[in-house]
Structure 1
Amino acid sequence: MDQIKTIYVSGYRSFEMGIFKEKDPKIEIIKNSLKKEIISYIEMGLEWVLVSGNLGVELWAAEVVGELKNDFPELKLGIIFPFKGFGNNWNEKNQHSLEKVKALADYVNSVSHQPYQSPAQLKGHTTFLLEHTGGSLLVYDKDYEGKTLFFLREAERFSERFSYDIRLITMDDLQNSIE
């Protein structure tokens, strides 16, 4: 396996998992699973974790990277939004969560420097992430569809042509991490 310097972390949005409170115990389980996987990537040379700022797994992953920086100061967090102004229409609580994560980031930018105009910006964002990462870590289970399916399909197609690592943390994995 090639050394992977940069991964993209994504997965379910909080509402897709029925998580609506910051203190939901499911969040700790997800964060612990992410932490374990990210550490295994770090031990193989990981330098950057990218997220795109979605509520749920991506923001929790960014918080995990923020914590891991204490033990792995060389680890960097990048937030690559699909378009300018991403999250501007969110409620105050969600915008506050996004601002907290932006403060942890070493790099923040957007693929499209225009406000949202069309799905083409989301497709361009996916292409950018695939071309600028060596793999992705997704909290996703094919038995429970969610928005991450669109990225996963593109990543699988991409991995047929290029060396690209795709790791899934499934519902079973989360369940087993509790036991």
Structure 2
Amino acid sequence: MTWIIKRSWLIYLVYGKYNRQRSMLGKENHMNSFSCVITGHRPTRFKFKYNEKDKRCQRIKKCLQEQLIRLYNQGVRCFWAGGAMGADMWAAEILLRMKEQTMYQDVELCLALPFEGYDAGWDDWHRKRMGFIRKYAAKVLILGEMPSSDNYKKRNYYMVEQARYMVAVYDNTHNMRSGTQQTVNYAKKKGLQIIYIHPDTAQVTTEDAILWKK
């Protein structure tokens, strides 16, 4: 009888652990199916630079909001951003404003940052805006301990690996060596469904024609 009890307990430990791991994996895959990573250029890439009152910037922000709402209507709830100036910041602020509305209150903004203090060289206005974003984000992850280009790459790859969709404020017709290009290329490799917003025209294109439900 003692041997049977011990054997049953061993089976429970082995198979119970396996089932828990399989369940956790299923949850992770499920979360990836309903997550999106946002990437895009810094202000210096845009023709309007830091002038966010420019009509071209306003057009891009409006387009960003439209695509984020469309993804939300497709079931996406978790949105990852890398905490950079430019497209990352605009999208994060849009998501926080969406969350203030009852119909979007379950939106989650998640931040993946390369290392603490990465924004030390920013001006006060942008640092304050990022401080507000960090305060109200659902999750803030710091991917590295020290300043290094590897930690930016780690940040970019990590966000892609959490997601099934990507919104990229990026000109897909020109190769421009940048962190945005690195993130987009990795997303292509991982098979994410990518929505491009052109940084000059705000034109939307996608590599997956069946992304949106009719």
Report the TM-score when normalising by structure 1.
0.84
Residue in structure 2 matched with residue 128 of structure 1 by the alignment: 158
Residue in structure 1 matched with residue 78 of structure 2 by the alignment: 48
CA shift in 2, pair 1:172/1:27, >3 Å: closer
CA-CA distance at 1:109 after TM superposition: 2.0
Q: 2:184 aligns with which of 128, 152, 155?
A: 152
Q: 1:31 aligns with which of 47, 61, 79?
A: 61
2 CA distance for matches of 1:100 and 1:23? 20
Q: Which runs of 4+ in 1 moved over 4 A?
A: none
Quick check: which one's helix share is greater?
A: 2
Tell me the matched-pair count: 169
CA-CA distance at 1:143 after TM superposition: 3.7
Instruction: Give the fraction of aligned pairs with identical amino acids, expressed as a percent.
Output: 21
**Equivalent position amino acid for 1:8 in 2:** V
Q: Which structure has the larger Rg over C-alpha atoms?
A: 2
Q: Is the 8 A contact 2:82 2:88 kept in 1?
A: yes
Query: Which runs of 5 or more residues in structure 1 are unaligned?
Result: none
2 CA distance for matches of 1:150 and 1:65? 24
1:166 aligns with 2:197: no
1 CA distance for matches of 2:59 and 2:46? 13
1 CA distance for matches of 2:53 and 2:75? 32
Q: Is the 8 A contact 2:63 2:202 kept in 1?
A: yes
Which protein has greater RCO, CA pairs closer than 8 Å, 6+ apart? 1
Q: Which moved more, 1:85-94 or 1:30-39?
A: 85-94
**Equivalent position amino acid for 1:107 in 2:** K
CA shift in 2, pair 1:154/1:43, >3 Å: same
Alignment RMSD = 2.2
Q: Is the 8 A contact 2:52 2:58 kept in 1?
A: no
**Equivalent position amino acid for 1:127 in 2:** Y
Q: Is the 8 A contact 2:113 2:143 kept in 1?
A: yes
Q: How does 1:25-104 map to 2 (within 5 A)?
A: 25-69=55-99, 70=101, 71-104=103-136
